[in-house]
Structure 1
Amino acid sequence: MARQPPMRPQIICFGDSITQFGFRPNGWLCLLAERYERFADVINRGYSGYNTRWALPLAPLAFPRASGAHAAPPALSVIMLGANDAALPDGTAAPQAVPLDEYKANLGAIVECAVAAGGPVVLLTPPPVDTERRRADSESTPKREDRSDAAAAAYGKAVLEVGAGAGVPVVDVGGAMRAQPPGWGARLLCDGLHLSDDGNRMLFETVADFIATRTDLGAGVAGTEGDGGLPRDAPDWKDVSASGPRWREVLDGHVRWAPRTAS
């Protein structure tokens, strides 16, 4: 039997609640999936509340190595962890806190799993924290914040270091959000930690720009043939219909995406 064309390419996104919630209405992964619909499948591997210590054992499952006639490596692996690792060790979320050195080692090991699966990998720094909002919303007495932006920034710096050491590109999401005009906390974060609609939109645009300019996937854009990156999965129904009795030939001859090796 002839080898079948590879499956539709996958963008695998591995992270915590910011990733898990990304498929909610107006979420960043929801927007990304719409951008690449019928070009690539966006796979959500987000685990709410997880830090790198707990996520590391799941990494080989999130990034399985390609095998078999139908398998292909991920078109892109996206990793964003650290929002929970950066919890204050003396705060109300202390059980989630992971020391900075362990965080870097865990993140490096997760990157190794993604690289071993094949295809390009990108790291994202965690979003910033609105410290005052976290304190105001705290249920503890007296009120104490569970996170701080200073800690989030330190863990974001660690992501940059891990990426440099592994030769993996890093998109500084946290830095980009902090560079926004004053009031970014209220605009980009819904509770001082998780993303608002505007925050999700900004994260989506940041990731989509990286994909369009620095990977082979191209810009996507639902309903079009893209910009020379990906072909649409299967021909347009109008082309199938117009082919009459040759419709199966048209389907069988459709050019599908072929995986490229990571550069």
Structure 2
Amino acid sequence: MRPKIYLFGDSITEESFGDGGWGASLAHQFSRTVDVVLRGYSGYNTRWAQKVLERVFPGSQDGGGEAPLAVTVFFGANDACLPDRCSGFQHVPVDEYKQNLRSIVSFLKKQWPTTHIILITPPPIDEDGRLQFPYIENPLNQPERTNEAAGAFAEACVAVARESGLPVIDLWTKMQQFPDWQKAHLRDGLHLTPRGNRLVFEEVVAKLRDEGLSLESLPVDLPLIADIDPNDPLKAFQK
């Protein structure tokens, strides 16, 4: 069986297998070496995510199952909803967010000690975009998320990664280094455009490479066509 990479997160992960999505790009990148497995749950925060870990990941009841090569953990965009705005039911206080991330990391480490865990911070928020594309009724006509709040959760995610000795992609900081990131990288103030997806894909590939996981380091599944002798094709399958 091919090894696996799990993508665990909220809607930004759930949508990642769409056209041009960062998850689909990962699946293409590792198409002969790794199965990229989507575990994205739109609207979820870390409070809900850490409650369903045993249902999300196989083998939790019988010794852990086969360890995946890596798991990306990409939460915080919903935790950062403001408690007094229209999506307040998704809000999680930042201190609880940190503890929930620790619980998720602890579960994964206990399950699979050799698996590489990569944390990803929530992205920045284009507040104008959130007002233009509300998902539920917004009687206050105020963005349910702010970039400042998202930044606090991004900082908390980075802090948990550092204390846990884990690699982290600080997407909140990285994305804002680009001009016009609000519209170039975010289609509705929160979710990713093709350019935003490309940025996440490139950052994940770079982190995986830093962890020793790359096309060059991973074995290919079954013989490549270039390695099959046209005069004796079946010989390649006897190895």
Aligned length: 233
Q: Which moved more, 1:148-157 or 1:72-81?
A: 72-81
Q: Quick one: distance in 2 between partners of 1:199 and 1:134?
A: 16
Return the offset for 1:51. Answer: 0.4
Of residues 203, 206, 231 in structure 2, which corresponds to 1:206? 203
Change in CA separation of 1:38 and 1:100 when aligned onto 2, cut-off 3 Å: same
1:169-225 deviations in Å (ceiling 9; x for gaps) = 2111111001212x210110000010111100111111111112x12221x2xxxxx
Write the letter of the residue equivalent to 1:123. Answer: L
Return the offset for 1:241. Answer: 6.2
Q: Quick one: distance in 2 between partners of 1:62 and 1:252?
A: 38
Structure 1 residue 52 corresponds to structure 2 residue 46:
yes
**Secondary structure at 2:144's aligned position in 1?**
coil
Write the letter of the residue equivalent to 2:122. Answer: P
Q: Quick one: distance in 2 between partners of 1:140 and 1:81?
A: 23
Aligned residue in 2 for 1:257: none
**Secondary structure at 2:154's aligned position in 1?**
helix
**Secondary structure at 2:189's aligned position in 1?**
coil
Write the letter of the residue equivalent to 1:197. Answer: P
TM-score normalised by length of structure 2: 0.90
Q: Quick one: distance in 1 between partners of 2:140 and 2:87?
A: 15
Q: Quick one: distance in 1 between partners of 2:173 and 2:106?
A: 25
Of residues 159, 181, 184 in structure 2, which corresponds to 1:184? 181
Q: Which moved more, 1:126-135 or 1:16-25?
A: 126-135
Return the offset for 1:101. Answer: 1.2
TM-score normalised by length of structure 1: 0.82
Aligned residue in 2 for 1:97: 91
Unpaired runs of at least 5, structure 2: none
Return the offset for 1:240. Answer: 4.6
Unpaired runs of at least 5, structure 1: 1-6, 221-226, 254-263
Q: Quick one: distance in 1 between partners of 2:195 and 2:167?
A: 25
Root-mean-square deviation over aligned CA pairs: 2.1
Aligned residue in 2 for 1:224: none
Q: Quick one: distance in 2 between partners of 1:166 and 1:142?
A: 39
Aligned residue in 2 for 1:153: 151
Structure 1 residue 126 corresponds to structure 2 residue 114:
no
